[in-house]
Amino acid sequence: MNNPFEFFGIKTSLAIDLKQLRMKFLEIQKSSHPDFGGNDATDSELANQYYEKLKNPIYRIQILLETFSNKHLNDNVLPPDFLMEMMELNDLINESKSGDEAATKLALSTLDLLKSDLDQNFDQLAVLWDSFQKNDSSKDDQFWNQHIVLYQKYKYWSRLRKNFDGVEEI
């Protein structure tokens, strides 16, 4: 995969300026998309793919890991207590599907709280990423493991949220 940050000419970071990303996306589409008189369908397609990924914090973490680290996204580094909490939340979501209103409210509030915690961790990791960028320090295993943990936690949240919403994944 090419570096989507370089493709759009934006700063490599977890915390990107989404308005700037949108402007860069539109510039590329105007110059390359056949509907706008462009003749570079490849750039237009790449712009679509990269734009969708960079808008999403989960995929932004994935891009940084795949582009800059030698870590594997599926290496399980999640703490066992988190995994137990996710199993309990999944059970609660399944209870809510049987019409249990209390379970539904509790599952929704737990999902919202988890998402809030993840977003806060994302913001903290974004500050850490930018401080590493400025100091040009080498990133160690602990730095990348923090990214993997957050990525995997977001993926768990996403799956559980889809389960709660009744969206089945293929």
Q: What is the pTM of this model?
A: 0.83
Buried b (16+ CB within 10 A) or exposed e, 72-89: eeeeeeeeeeeeeebeeb
Smallest Cα–Cα separation from 79: which of 139, 146, 14?
A: 146
Least confident of 52-66, 107-121, 136-150: 136-150
Domain locations in the chain as residue ranges: 4-55, 80-165
Q: How far apart are CA 96 and CA 90, in angstroms?
A: 10
How far is residue 124's CA from residue 104's CA, in Å, rounded to a whole number? 30
8-state DSSP, 36? G
Q: What is the pLDDT of residues 16-44, one digit of tens each?
A: 999 999 999 999 888 886 776 666 668 88
Q: Is the pLDDT of residue 140 over 60?
A: yes
pLDDT, tens digit, 9 for 90 and up, residues 64-90: 888 888 888 888 889 999 999 999 999
pLDDT value, residue 17:
93
